[in-house]
């Protein structure tokens, strides 16, 4: 049995397999997931589990050098944007349109689906290296 960190076997495996510049999406429950991208569906009910809790757990295990957010988060969910920025003090933050964001998910290793219902609660994490 794993002692610390993420205990979801699928998500733990994905993080362990990621290399430099690979991307992983943490998403709300409404983001469309391309059929060619692995889905880690952690959603249980609307609002649970929270996007921010999944992001927090993921950041404990994954080295992130860059994060991509939909630019619409600035207007529609500024409190969430502020929390995300606080959680990623050393990562570069890039903003793109939500339409472009959905296209970019096609290039990700996986999309982790939360139960979140806050608008634009989606992030693309680009992995870095720990050395």
Residues acting as catalytic residues: 20
Residue from 105, 116, 130, 107 nearest 20 by CA: 130
68 token code pair:
């991509």
- Residues that constitute the known binding site for substrate: 28, 98, 120-122
Query: Annotated binding residues, as ranges?
Result: 28, 98, 120-122
Task: From 95, 97, 88, select the one nearest 65 (Cα to Cα).
Answer: 88
Using an 8 Å Cβ cutoff, are 43 and 37 in contact? no
Name the 3-class secondary structure at 10.
helix
């Amino acid at each position: 049995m794993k002692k610390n960190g993420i205990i979801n076997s699928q998500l733990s495996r994905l993080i362990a397999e990621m290399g430099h510049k690979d991307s992983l999406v943490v998403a709300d429950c409404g983001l469309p997931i391309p059929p060619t991208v692995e889905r880690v569906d952690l959603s249980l009910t609307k609002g649970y589990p929270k996007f921010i809790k999944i992001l927090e757990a993921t950041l404990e295990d994954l080295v992130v050098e860059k994060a991509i957010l939909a630019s619409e988060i600035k207007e529609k969910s500024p409190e969430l944007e502020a929390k995300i920025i606080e959680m990623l003090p050393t990562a570069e933050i890039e903003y793109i349109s939500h339409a472009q964001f959905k296209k970019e998910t096609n290039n990700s290793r996986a999309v982790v689906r939360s139960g979140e219902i806050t608008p634009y609660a989606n992030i693309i994490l680009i992995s870095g290296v720990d050395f």
